[in-house]
Amino acid sequence: MVEGDLVLVVDDAPEMHELVKRYLSTDGFRVALAHDAPEAMARLEEEQPELVLIDLGLPGTSGDELFAALQKRSPGLPCAFLTGDTSLDRAVTMMRAGALDYITKPIEVASFRVRMQALRERLSLRREVEGLRALWEPQVSGPELVLGAERAMLDVVRRLILTARTDAPVLLTGESGTGKEVCARLLHRASRRAEKPFVAVNAAAVPLQLWESQFFGHLKGAFTDARADAPGLVDAAAGGTLFLDEVGEVPLEVQPKLLRFLQDKSYLPVGSTRERRADVRIVGATNRDLREAASRGAFREDLFYRLSVVPVRVPPLRERRGDVPLLAQTFLTRYAKQYGVEVEAFTPSALARLTQHDWPGNVRELENLVQQVVAVATRPIVGVADLPFASGESELPAHDGIEPLVASRKQAIDAFERAYVGRVLELCDGNITRAAQRSHVPRKTFTRMLKRHGITAVRDGVAKKRGRPRRS
């Protein structure tokens, strides 16, 4: 939700209408009101609210029945509850059914505004993720567009999608294996060129003597083995995108011609005297510092600036560890299907171990490891002992000589909760109040969760486990 979004409030008490409307309007929301379920359904025929606040104690059709009807009518419509039930049993039931939050009556203004702001941020992020994911999830030729949902990658995706509206050259930088080609494919997919070719070439793999011919094509007789006219990469990518991986390896001798093509889309095939043009977008990628290379004369400075009209740094996996479980499960599902192997998931401990790893080879290394694990899998659940770098480790004591396939339900829940509260506290710079608000739980509850898992908040804002050195 953003400022000006509509909230539908369904409550039979006129004083609640006035109170909630005043608070919401103060924070920039538009408000629609309904006194019961039939009126709420009628309002939905006229309005498209971003959030529905439902009183659980509605007369006639109850709040939980209205919620069920809303979910049937508009699956995924964000809803939260107002309740005077101090036991909160029904509210908890609705939360489990998919409601986003519950707010207790009588409403306390400061708490209410904080909860609504948290809902606004949560829905805004969800809408952002869904909008971005809609572009990268469709199947395309080559790698599937799986990038991640950590803030660092969402920032990259947002920049790519904004740039996709133009034809500006893009230079993707970052370590090897971070997913630069996947980013280039996303850029292509989001652009007006989506239905045209996406052509990828590794500049370092093209021999110097063949570079110009492969890039621009040649005419029959242009050189000894030129027995017929041959189109080049720019012809193959006509109307679409040409992705130059390791663009820093383009030979200096060829760079002036690449520069000219970037400037005016014109080129000469080898052996031709007639200039041609091609409507192609160039996207480069490199793990080198091209600015530094240009300062040494190892790369043309003017070409560097032409290539990097829009520079985009793709972060290494160690800077977005929260994406490791998503990527690992995606690769596991992909290769289990490809190899015809019945492997379904990782245990919580295995995911935790994968997340702790530094991944010097980045996403490519993670994909390779998961591919290896699937290829030799003998059971449907992958545990710590199944990971190649976890030799000798095990998650649980052996039972009757056989290691359990999965942790108990309680262990799984504890592992998730421990990882979750630690991560939220870290994202909130160690501020317990903010972390509790972000988690939508009372501060006392969040504090008890931290205590239960031995996690403390230190002054520099980093969450740490008790008894372990503080991370710098």
> What local confidence, expressed as pLDDT, does residue 20 receive?
87
- The span from the CA of 394 to the CA of 384, in Å, is 6
Q: Has residue 305 got a pLDDT over 60?
A: yes
More confident residue, 138 or 34: 34
Q: What is the pLDDT of residues 113-141, one digit of tens each?
A: 888 887 877 777 666 656 555 544 443 33
| 470 and 462 Cβ atoms separated by less than 8 Å | yes
Q: Has residue 98 got a pLDDT over 50?
A: yes
> What local confidence, expressed as pLDDT, does residue 239 receive?
94
Cα angle: 314, vertex 306, 266; to 5 degrees: 125
Phi and psi at residue 296, to the nearest 5°: -95, 0
- 83-121 as b/e: b if 16+ CB within 10 A: beeeeeebbeebbeeebbbbbbbeeeeeebeebbebbbe
Q: What is the pLDDT of residues 213-262, one digit of tens each?
A: 888 887 877 677 777 877 889 999 999 999 999 999 999 998 999 999 99
At residue 472 the predicted structure's pLDDT band, cuts being 50, 70 and 90, is: very low
| 433 and 443 Cβ atoms separated by less than 8 Å | yes
Q: What is the pLDDT of residues 144-190, one digit of tens each?
A: 556 777 778 888 888 888 898 899 999 999 999 999 999 999 899 88
Q: What is the pLDDT of residues 319-373, one digit of tens each?
A: 998 888 888 888 998 899 999 998 888 887 888 889 889 999 999 999 999 999 9
Mean confidence (pLDDT) of the chain: 80
More confident residue, 141 or 378: 378
Q: Has residue 11 got a pLDDT over 60?
A: yes
First to last CA, the chain: 36
Identify the residue whose tokens are 């989001």.
Answer: 190
For the chain, list the domains and their CATH numbers.
6-130 (3.40.50.2300), 151-315 (3.40.50.300), 318-407 (1.10.8.60), 410-465 (1.10.10)
Q: What is the pLDDT of residues 379-436, one digit of tens each?
A: 888 888 899 875 444 443 333 332 333 333 344 445 556 766 777 787 777 888 888 7
Task: Give kind and range of the element (H or E) at residue 32.
Answer: strand 30-34
> What local confidence, expressed as pLDDT, does residue 298 receive?
92
| pTM of the shown model | 0.57
> What local confidence, expressed as pLDDT, does residue 91 receive?
59
